[in-house]
A and B are shown apart, each in its own frame.
Chain A
């Protein structure tokens, strides 16, 4: 086994373990902190897939932004500080867990059964230049639409919070 495979397997184990904590811990704050591990792990997997810019964006946006937002939201809602052990209750029934295990086994079985046309393992120096060129030529319209969407969501979030305060 080469070194990269071992590293990728370790990162994959980190991702799976962190998302297990997110899925099954009864303490919401621990789930929120385990999100860090899962999102950092996905970022590291991007790096092993030769997506350097994507890995950086993942760590900046997810681990630096969204995860901190989740921890803030967790601490802002009062249930956590009142009773941290029961802040993240789950549905007390076995059926959804059985269904999910069956779905996961089915997906992995289908993936193993499929014949993927594994072609060129391209090796670029850096994807940043090519990604930037594509964003301003082939994907110019989605790029502009996304910038408008970000502005809209910013204003919408502020309006929601301010309206809630007035009542």
Chain B
């Protein structure tokens, strides 16, 4: 596939992640949206690395690797936060979480 095709798939993935991020009320669905957006960014880096744009080859792939690692760390911490909120409040609907300090 050409560079343009991969970039278009990545753009659609990003747009779908963004619409999930904006419209969902469930906190876990919002976390899934963040993962979709990060995947789109990492896919862009890999596509540019494949097309040979950059200072040296594999530069883009290293960036994708770091994006994947950071996304894993972010997902773990965010899911722990969601679990803590669920224990405290009994639900994880973001539009009903309006108070600070319990």
Contacts and interface: CB of A to CB of B under 8 A. Distances in A.
Q: Do A and B bind each other?
A: yes
Interface of A: 4-5, 8-9, 12, 15-16, 19-20, 22-23, 28, 31-32, 35, 38-39, 42, 45-46, 48-51, 53-54, 57-58, 61-62, 65-66, 69-70, 73-74, 76-79, 87-91, 96-97, 100-101, 103-104, 107-108, 111-112, 116-122, 124, 127, 130-131, 134-135, 138-139, 142, 146, 149-150, 153-154, 156-158, 160-161, 163-165, 167
Interface string B80-102: 11111011101111000000000
Interface residues of B, number: 71
Interface of B: 1-9, 11-20, 22-26, 28-29, 31-33, 35-36, 39, 42-43, 46-47, 49-53, 57-58, 61-62, 64-66, 68-77, 79-84, 86-88, 90-93
A2 to B, nearest CB: 10
Contacts of B22: 91, 96, 100
Contacts of A46: 43, 46, 64
A89 B25 contact: yes
Contact of A79 (B13, B57, B91): B91
Contact of A57 (B5, B26, B68): B68
Secondary structure of the B side of the interface? Answer: helix
B7 A111 contact: yes
A120 B72 contact: no
A89 B49 CA distance: 38
B68 to A, nearest CB: 6
A19 B10 CA distance: 11
28 contacts: A5-B1, A8-B6, A9-B5, A12-B9, A19-B17, A31-B32, A35-B32, A49-B6, A54-B46, A54-B64, A54-B65, A57-B68, A61-B68, A66-B71, A69-B79, A73-B79, A89-B24, A103-B18, A107-B11, A119-B51, A121-B50, A124-B57, A134-B58, A142-B66, A157-B77, A164-B87, A164-B88, A167-B87
